[in-house]
Amino acid sequence: MRQPAVRLVWLGQVRYAELLALQDRWLRQLQAKPGTEALSGTEAGALLVCEPAGPVYTAGLRGGLTPEETAQLRALGAEVRATGRGGLVTFHGPGQLLCHPVLDLRRFGLRLRTHVAALEACAVRLCELQGLPGARARPPPYTGVWLDERKICAIGERCGSGAGESAVEGTSHPMAWL
């Protein structure tokens, strides 16, 4: 039996607002498809890959920015967005790779924590391919990938209506992934 397909969608350099709109559209499409079991040959989502067109700070459900800090960042030309994922504040900028999987985890038979571990393993492997062999994931409750004490990959999850969607976002490391 074949695994469900995931479509890779290379978006190039895009504004964060455009990425969020595309992610929402893909999620609605996925939710509209009937069936919850792993169906052979059925598309189970998409991997939206892009580079941010400008500086963006995303604030998760735990917040992390005061109104003054938000105003200061916007005055410097950065976009500031609240998100429905966990975590605090994450920086996204040109030269970073943003990967936004929009997946129905049930079609893969995956639990959320297994999915996060797979994303971390993928990010560690990408770091190795880029010549950063010391990159490692930390055990739960932490998510993401660290190089020594620097977090270089953040993973923010937002799940709802039965379809898991996640964002793997490179953070605070100046390395160009592209």
Quick one: DSSP state of residue 1?
Answer: -
pLDDT confidence tier of residue 35, bands split at 50, 70 and 90: low
pTM: 0.72
| pLDDT, position 161 | 52
Which of 5-14, 84-93, 118-127 bottoms out in mean pLDDT, i.e. has the lowest? Answer: 84-93
Residue 10 has phi, psi (to 5 degrees) of -85, 120
- Of all residues in the chain, the percent with pLDDT exceeding 70 is 82
Return d(Cα 117, Cα 104) in angstroms, integer. 16
Domains contained in the chain, CATH given: 5-34+42-170 (3.30.930.10)
Provide the edge-to-edge strand list for the sheet that holds 5-14.
5-14, 43-52, 98-103, 163-170, 150-160, 145-147, 135-137
pLDDT of residue 175: 32
Please list, in sequence order, all residues whose beta carbon lies within 8 angstroms of the beta carbon of residue 129, skipping any fewer than 6 positions away: none
Give the pLDDT confidence score for residue 166 in this predicted structure: 43
Residue 23 predicted with pLDDT over 80: yes
In the predicted model, is pLDDT for residue 123 greater than 60? yes
Task: Identify the three-state secondary structure at position 34.
Answer: coil
Query: What integer best gives the mean pLDDT of the chain?
Result: 79
Q: Which of 13-17, 72-76, 130-134, 164-168 has the lowest mean pLDDT?
A: 164-168
Q: 49-62, pLDDT tens digit by residue?
A: 889 999 999 887 77
pLDDT at 41 over 80: no
